[in-house]
Amino acid sequence: MDTFPKAEARARALRQELAHHNHRYYVLDSPEISDAQYDTLMRELQGLEEKYPQLATPDSPTQRVGGAAVEDFGQVVHSAQMLSLANIFDDEGLQEFEERIRKLTGLTQVGFVCEPKLDGLAIALRYEDGRFVLGATRGDGTTGEDVTSNLRTIKSLPLELFPHDGVKVPKRLEVRGEIFIRKEDFRKLNEKREEEGESLFANPRNAAAGSLRQLDPKETAARPLSIYLYECGPSEGLPTFKTHTDKLEYLKTLGLPVNHYKPALGADGIRQRYDESLKGRHALPFEVDGMVVKVDDEDLRRRLGQVSKSPRWAVAYKFPPEEESTEVQDIGIQVGRTGALTPVAHLKPVKVGGVTVSRATLHNEDELRRKDVRRGDTVFVRRAGDVIPEIVSVVPSKRPKDSQPFTFPTHCPVCGALAAKDEDGAIIRCTGASCPAQLVEKVRHFASRLALDIEGLGDKLATQLVTSGQVKTFADLFALTKESLMKLERMGEKSAENLLASIAGSRNTTQRRFLYSLGIRHVGDATARALAEAFPQVKTLFTASLEDISRVKDVGPVMAQVIHTFFQEPQNQVTIQALLDAGVTPAPPEVATGGPFVGKTVVLTGTMAGLAREQAKEEIERRGGKVAGSVSRKTDFVVAGDDAGSKLKKAQELGVRILDEQAFLRMLEGTARA
Ligand code: IVH
């Protein structure tokens, strides 16, 4: 039986171990254990914290999911001003910078450190006695916003410091760095938002800024933020660093995620580093907009000091922007699957960073107004985040005299229905129930890989089917014939046959795919899966209450409302019924048909170190078992953790099979989850 002091020591050991593996995984990208092994450690810690809630401090790694939402961010006055950097753009700028330093210091050659200039947001973090206690945005350099709860959700940021190599935990440490989103994470984030019918982020920087400033940390926890640190602020109990390099190495021994850096000697050294990083910028997993050059020697830095808001010892050597100017030939409105109207600029084709760009998104009405882009304007376009080209700015001097501001349509340009603002006010949507533009997108989504996976039914064909009037609802897809298909432009007999075969094959599907295919706003693949588990039969959703839906895993109040309204809508019920009538058969999620838990009644008692009660229940149910609250002759097993009391006694009296935690975990592991 464990006691509090034992549990406390074990929790500490687990936190240290988890921090170590987090660092290996998120910072070094070289894990030493499997995800399953990591989960086991995490579960053991959760078990201890459940038993002894006083152990569940905010800096426990179990708390990364995000704490309570706030009304507003508090203000933080920085202990020392957060400086910014002067920019240089060319070799002349570099020469001036380097010469000035030589003159001021009287040295003939100076050692520098070069770091990627991360394109994110500056933040300051404070650790007290090794615990992460405060994190703030830069703000105006003097005062920033308290975003501690949001920063806690970033997995690569240690909540507690466990130094190695015999280094002592500093009494008070302030570190500064950058919050950003990796290119790959950005791509996935936008893909998910598109799937869920939400507006897309223009670039990783905007996505990072928006994510960090969420009032609900649970939202931030769902965003893939990364962090790199590159400087220290006023601290206590630190060793004296001779160089910036020593400082960065020291931060590494504390287990902190430190920015990349390389040494450079004199202006020539810097030039070489600049050429290397300019060539390598696209290969980096994150966006950089330049290279930061810093004097390495800390003593020299102090002597050099600062001018107004930037230090004399550092400079940002910017990369030439991947921007070009071109002309806006037209502004069009695109209608998405969920009816969102997105303004798109049609451009005179121009090469930006090696890629020809002929369209750029203007995101939404507010953005369009803010930038005041008009037909005929000369604009700068930038390839942002390697994904969506965007318009940076208009060149006012080149605006044609007769130019008129673009007026956002009040009605859908495709079906003519009224266009109305969303609840959150940013997106304007077509309200037409049978809008063909929405229908094309809906059909495409219905046929997409994670939905009914109808091979050959892409963008072009969806448009043809809708505009020819052959498809007015999803169910019409199942009534298509070879003859009707062959009436479409460029549709041969063979392709028609192939398409019909894949449509026919898509009838046998799963409830998860089926729910996803309906294109309900906010319902991506993961939500569809959770919904399918809770509602294995689609028609039970017609009568499900808002409360029933809110109980589904990860479904928040806004999402629950949208889902509830969707299934209440008679038109949607008709569509679903028509699909079922057309022979579409969504199989419920598989329930285990074999294994020790199928059809069994299990009672849980006492506490388990490795598994919380709720999780144990979920795992048993997934394996086809039922969890009951009290022991009777009908009970098949009792799982007895520590401190099991009367239920264990009753089980012994009745001769019910008793499992200890280890035996139970082995049984779980031996059976696959349904
Ligand atoms: S050092 C006193 N290092 O660039 C020096 N800044 O324009 C403080 N930045 O506000 C900054 N990467 O947000 C430094 N490796 C790096 C950086 C970096 C990006 C940002 C930072 C700063 C801005 C200055």
Number of domains making up the chain: 5
Same domain? 371 vs 460: no
DSSP per-residue string spanning 313-363: TEEEEEPPPSEEEEEEEEEEEEE-TT-BEEEEEEEEEEEETTEEEEEEE--
Same domain? 297 vs 263: yes
- Is 418 strand, coil or helix? strand
Same domain? 628 vs 537: no
Same domain? 379 vs 446: no
- Dist. CA 633–CA 466, nearest whole Å: 61
Same domain? 273 vs 345: no
Model confidence at 266, pLDDT cuts 50, 70, 90, reads: very high
Q: Is 232 in the pocket of ligand 1 (CB under 6 A)?
A: no
Same domain? 267 vs 369: no
Q: Which two tokens stand for residue 357?
A: 């760009």
Binding-site positions? 35-39, 84-85, 115, 138, 178, 294, 318, 412, 415, 435
Same domain? 115 vs 238: yes
Last residue of a domain, one of 290, 318, 346: 318
Q: What residues make up the domain containing 629? A: 601-668
Last residue of a domain, one of 303, 318, 333: 318
Q: Is residue 437 part of a domain?
A: yes
The CATH number of the domain holding residue 23 is: 1.10.287.610
Q: Is 50 in the pocket of ligand 1 (CB under 6 A)?
A: no
Q: Residue 672: what pLDDT?
A: 47
Q: Which two tokens stand for residue 49?
A: 């914290």
pLDDT digits (tens, 9 = 90+) for 19-40: 999 888 888 878 888 888 888 8
User: Measured from the CA of 306, which atom of ligand 1 is nearest?
Assistant: 2
Higher pLDDT, 281 or 494: 494
Q: Which of 117, 247, 371, 647 is catalytic?
A: 117
Q: Is residue 556 part of a domain?
A: yes
Q: Is residue 363 part of a domain?
A: yes
- Dist. CA 358–CA 326, nearest whole Å: 9
pLDDT digits (tens, 9 = 90+) for 618-645: 778 778 788 888 888 888 999 998 888 7
Q: At 2, phi and psi to the nearest 5?
A: -95, 155
The CATH number of the domain holding residue 525 is: 1.10.150.20
pLDDT digits (tens, 9 = 90+) for 340-381: 999 999 999 998 866 789 999 888 888 899 999 999 999 999
Same domain? 487 vs 507: yes
Q: Which of 223, 216, 225 minimizes the C-alpha distance to 556? A: 216
Tell whether the model's pLDDT for residue 43 goes beyond 80: yes
Q: Which of 87, 230, 258 to mutate to test the pocket of ligand 1 (most atoms within 8 A of CB)?
A: 230
Q: Residue 465: what pLDDT?
A: 95
User: Measured from the CA of 311, which atom of ligand 1 is nearest?
Assistant: 2
Same domain? 219 vs 128: yes
Q: Is 84 in the pocket of ligand 1 (CB under 6 A)?
A: yes
Q: Is residue 328 part of a domain?
A: yes
Q: Is residue 405 part of a domain?
A: no
Ranges 35-39, 82-86, 191-195, 212-216: which has the least confidence = 191-195
pLDDT digits (tens, 9 = 90+) for 419-430: 998 776 778 999
pTM of the model: 0.63
Q: Is residue 394 part of a domain?
A: yes
Gap from CA of 71 to ligand 1 centroid (Å): 29
Q: Which of 85, 112, 176 to mutate to test the pocket of ligand 1 (most atoms within 8 A of CB)?
A: 85
Same domain? 265 vs 370: no
Same domain? 565 vs 643: no
Q: Residue 354: what pLDDT?
A: 67
Q: Is residue 172 part of a domain?
A: yes
Same domain? 153 vs 210: yes
Last residue of a domain, one of 587, 613, 647: 587
The CATH number of the domain holding residue 182 is: 3.30.470.30
The CATH number of the domain holding residue 608 is: 3.40.50.10190
Note if 117 is an active site residue: yes
Angle, to 10 degrees, between the axis of helix 436-447 and the axis of helix 459-467?
Answer: 140
Q: Is residue 410 part of a domain?
A: no
